[in-house]
């Protein structure tokens, strides 16, 4: 099956934008809550260059597009020093973790609202207006779809995903200690879920529900 290079390029640009906003949201929220580590490293920024991870932002998405897998990726994690968060650091870390997926949902919502304004012009016979607006609507649809996928994917409660850090902020006592001991195996669990297909079984229904509301 051939690859539509124009579509792939647009999807890649949308992915870079979405990942940049995601990581900038982590960095901004950490700085606001009390940890300036990310700000000192220049990560409170919408400049994609400071967030790009060669594997997660470039190689992995390229492989996904070439093989027909869902377009997903990641950027460089934003460093957070829990010592700077002081009291209730787990709950504060949870808020920082949730900021990334929340930013993706806000992006998806914003694109959806603009799409509702643009979409009525996409009718046969609109002539040049159709030609001009069609690509814009395509980008907006990709913004909605990709950001919903990123938000839902990242909220899976498995470390090192954001959902794992959110869950860690909710758990207390022995449950929190047990969950912390799972962290070194988080990637193995995640890959196991991906390769077995269980991951997409979990993500799919939630993603489709949100897309049904937004598109």
Q: Whole-angstrom Cα distance, residue 103 to residue 143? A: 12
pLDDT digits (tens, 9 = 90+) for 79-118: 999 999 988 898 999 999 999 999 999 999 999 999 888 7
Q: What is the CA radius of gyration of the chain?
A: 19
Instruction: Say what the pLDDT of residue 127 is.
Output: 44
**191 or 161, which is more confident:** 161
pLDDT at position 3: 61
Residues 162, 165: Cα–Cα separation, whole Å: 5
What is the pLDDT, as a whole number, of residue 126? 43
Count Cβ atoms within 10 A of the Cβ of residue 144 and give its class: 0-12 exposed, 13-18 middle, 19 or more buried.
buried
d(C-alpha 181, C-alpha 171), whole Å: 13
Q: At 173, is the pLDDT very low, low, confident or very high (cuts 50, 70, 90)?
A: confident
User: Over 90: is that where the pLDDT of 71 sits?
Assistant: no
The rounded mean pLDDT for the chain is: 87
The percentage of residues in the chain with a pLDDT greater than 70, rounded to a whole number, is: 91
**Residue 152 CB-density burial (10 A; 0-12 exposed, 13-18 middle, 19+ buried):** buried
């Amino acid at each position: 099956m051939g690859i539509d290079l124009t579509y792939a390029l647009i999807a890649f640009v949308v992915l870079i934008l979405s990942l940049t906003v995601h990581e900038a949201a982590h960095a901004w929220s950490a700085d606001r809550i009390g940890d300036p580590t990310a700000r000192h490293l220049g990560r409170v920024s919408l400049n994609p260059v400071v967030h790009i991870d060669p594997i997660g932002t470039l190689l992995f998405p390229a492989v996904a597009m070439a093989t027909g897998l869902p377009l997903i990726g990641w950027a460089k994690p934003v460093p957070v020093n829990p010592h700077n968060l002081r009291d209730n650091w787990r709950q504060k870390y949870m808020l920082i973790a949730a900021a990334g997926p929340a930013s993706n949902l806000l992006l998806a919502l914003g694109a959806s609202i603009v799409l509702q304004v643009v979409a009525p012009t996409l009718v046969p016979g609109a002539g040049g207006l159709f030609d001009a607006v069609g690509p814009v609507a395509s980008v907006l649809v990709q913004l909605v779809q990709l950001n919903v996928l990123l938000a839902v994917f990242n909220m899976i409660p498995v470390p090192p995903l954001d959902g794992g850090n959110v869950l860690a902020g909710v758990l207390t006592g022995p449950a929190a200690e047990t969950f912390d001991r799972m962290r070194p195996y988080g990637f193995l669990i995640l890959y196991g879920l991906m390769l077995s297909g269980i991951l997409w079984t979990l993500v799919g229904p939630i993603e489709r529900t949100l897309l049904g509301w937004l598109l």
